[in-house]
Amino acid sequence: MGGDISEVDARCWSDGLAGLHERFAHRFARSESRESALAYMRGLLAPLERKNGWTVAEEAGRGGPDRGQDPVPLGDR
């Protein structure tokens, strides 16, 4: 069982991710929190060699992992 995935698999997962996100996005009071949650999930599915706070944040287009450290801010709990 290898860790390689095909481009087709990745696209299917990405499409499914949008549907999954729609199912719980209403739970976040702020649009920024909704967007951060989606970006975090995309980072987890991205074909990164190593996945940690920094690499997932960079994949999401952020300078660092600060917002990703707490993907559900206190205001949205």
pTM exceeds 0.75 for this model: no
**pLDDT at residue 69 tops 70:** no
Output 22-30 pairs: Cβ under 8 A, ≥24 positions apart. 27/76, 28/72, 28/76, 29/75, 29/76, 30/73, 30/75, 30/76
Give the chain's length. 77
Q: For position 77, what pLDDT does the model report? A: 54
- Report the C-alpha gap between 51 and 38 in whole angstroms: 16
**pLDDT at residue 75 tops 50:** yes
pLDDT, tens digit (0-9, with 9 covering 90-100), for 13-61: 777 888 888 888 898 888 888 888 888 888 888 888 888 888 888 888 7
